Amino acid sequence: MLSSAITQYLTTQGLQILVATGQTLQMVFLSVIFSYIFGLPLGIILVTTSPGHILENKTFNQILGAIINAARSLPFIILLVVIIPFTRFLVGSSIGTLAATVPLTVSAIPFVARMVETSLKEVEWGIIEAALAMGATPWQIISKVLLPESLSSLILGATITTITLIGYSAMAGFVGGGGIGDLAMRYGFYRYQLNILLACVVILIVMVQVIQMLGEKLASLVNKK
């Protein structure tokens, strides 16, 4: 009797943790993917339109830089609320895991753009110049030089982005996004169930460690320098 009660208790708890973990992974991976779909081209544009680069355009570059900085300076918690109408328009609801993906993505886009910019800037100018001397078009330089040459650095950037988004996803509870962070807040903080809090923290730590490890492994695998 007692043992079955405990088992039942544990399974409900376990199930909740399992569901929350799934929600976190879903939010994080969707927002990483979407933020790169937009952030990667922005980062490429930031670099290639910078002074002296292959598509130099000073005014455009400065305006884009200013917009990205402005977007980055907006606190996430405010973005979360401000963006609600847009979220509702996009996913049909402003509540839920999918809805939480929208502010996560939007806040990550300028971050990703700057990460990508930093990685692409590491490519030696001499290599780009060699390609120019061969008669490469700007698109060929982007696709055959900039991206492959900075792949390792881009992967490390994506690793940092992913881990940062795990942290941000904890705040998704405000829009009913669920997830590990939300669970930890609800049970651990408001109801003072330390075991759940502990379990959540352990899961988050493991998640971060695994992603960091995989990212570094993959980055060094593609690094031929």
Partner 1 sequence: MIEIKELKKIYGHGKNKVVALDGIDLNIKPGEIFGIIGLSGAGKSTLIRCLNMLEKPTKGKVIIDGFDLTSLSGDQLRSVRRRIGMIFQHFNLLWSRTVADNIAFPLEIAGEKDKGKIEARVNELLDLVDLSDKANAYPAQLSGGQKQRVGIARALANNPKVLLCDEATSALDPQTTGSILELLANINKKLGITMVIITHEMAVIKAICDKVAVIEDGKIVESGPVFDLFTNPHTKTARRFISTINSTELPDVILERQKISRGHSKLIRISFIGSSAGEPIISDMIQKFNIKANILYGNIDHIKNNIFGTLTVQLIGADSNTSQALTYLEGLGLKVEVINVE
Burial class of residue 172 in the structure, from the number of CB atoms within 10 Å of its CB (0-12 exposed, 13-18 middle, 19+ buried): buried
What are the start-end ranges of the E strands in the chain? Answer: none
Touching partner 1, residues 206-225 (CB under 8 A): 222, 224-225
Q: Which listed residue (93, 140, 195, 209) binds partner 1 by CB under 8 A?
A: 140
Tell me how far, at minimum, the Cβ of 136 lies from partner 1, in Å: 5
Cβ–Cβ < 8 Å for 205, 167? no
* CA separation for the pair 183, 20 (Å, rounded): 7
Q: Which listed residue (1, 133, 190, 192) binds partner 1 by CB under 8 A?
A: 133
**How many residues are present in the chain?**
225
Cβ–Cβ < 8 Å for 31, 108? yes
Binding segment for partner 1 (CB under 8 A), chosen from 122-130, 165-173, 194-202, 205-213, is: 122-130
Task: Tell whether residue 124 is a contact of partner 1 (CB under 8 A).
Answer: yes
Treating both helix axes as pointing N-terminal to C-terminal, what angle do 151-169 and 97-121 enclose, rounded to 10 degrees? 150
Judged by beta carbon, residue 2 or residue 133, the one nearer partner 1 is 133
**Residue where the block lists tokens 């040459």:** 149
Task: Tell whether residue 135 is a contact of partner 1 (CB under 8 A).
Answer: yes
Site string for partner 1, 150-179 (x = CB under 8 A): -x----------------------------
DSSP string, 194-206: HHHHHHHHHHHHH
Task: Tell whether residue 126 is a contact of partner 1 (CB under 8 A).
Answer: yes
The two structure tokens encoding residue 225:
């320098």
Q: Which listed residue (41, 92, 148, 167) binds partner 1 by CB under 8 A?
A: 148
Residues in touch with partner 1 (CB under 8 A): 124, 126-127, 129-137, 140, 144-145, 148-149, 151, 222, 224-225
